[in-house]
Amino acid sequence: MALLIRRMLRAARLEPAFYEEVEADKTAMGQAMLVVALSSLAAGLGAGELGVKAVLANLVTAWLLWLLWAWLTWFIGTKLLPEAQTDADLGQILRTTGFSAAPGLLRLLGFLPVVGRIVTAVAQVWMLAAMVVAVRQALDYRGTGRALTVCLLGWLIYVIVGVVIAFTVMGRVDGGGVAA
């Protein structure tokens, strides 16, 4: 557990060396999945979604969207916008981007009046910054601009799919709305 906490802190500090380490560590996939799960749980609890069905729906949705965004990132980054030295597999992208969700734990504070919305917004931007660093390192890009472009292109599709899932899957969890 101490290793996971240290890794989450390093991920949140946007340490490029950390993302290189996780990229190479094939045993870190479980931890990456756990970071995504904890971030999703924090977001749900911070939004007041306390029901078991809501928590499970949020968890499954978070994992599916993470898989989608990671695949999109891998495809766009290695097939459409690679640099000469780009060499990455989906596992490397999954591990690095999973840890980029670490700042999302701050979303637990989303329930706080006024401040909660600010903290949630900061956490979202911080997660995107972590994602860009994760992608830059996993795809061996020389600069941040291409990594940002890959992330934003993937994010557009991610958001569209997320909205569709929210309205079709999660909207039916308790017959019309997410259980609270």
149-160 pLDDT per residue, tens:
999 999 898 788
Q: Is the pLDDT of residue 177 over 50?
A: no
Query: What is the torsion angle, in degrees rounded to the nearest 10, for the CA atoms of residue 80, residue 11, residue 47 and residue 154?
Result: 0
What are 76-89's pLDDT values in tens digits? 999 999 999 999 99
Is residue 62 classed exposed, middle or buried when 0-12, 13-18 and 19+ CB atoms within 10 A define those classes? buried
pLDDT number for residue 175 = 47
Q: What is the share, in percent, of the chain residues with pLDDT greater than 70?
A: 93
Q: Confirm whether pTM is higher than 0.85.
A: yes
What are 18-38's pLDDT values in tens digits? 999 999 999 999 999 999 999
Q: Would you say 11 and 104 are in contact if contact means Cβ atoms under 8 Å apart?
A: no
Contacts 24+ apart (CB under 8 A), 69-74: 69/97, 69/154, 69/155, 69/158, 70/94, 70/97, 70/98, 72/153, 72/154, 72/157, 72/158, 73/97, 73/135, 73/139, 73/150, 73/151, 73/154
What are 5-14's pLDDT values in tens digits? 999 999 999 9
Spatial neighbors of 114 by CB under 8 A, at least 6 apart, are none
Cα radius of gyration rounded to whole Å, the chain: 16
The pLDDT confidence band at residue 176, using thresholds 50, 70 and 90, is very low
Q: Domains of the chain: which residue ranges?
A: 2-172
Q: Is the pLDDT of residue 172 over 80?
A: no
pLDDT number for residue 162 = 74
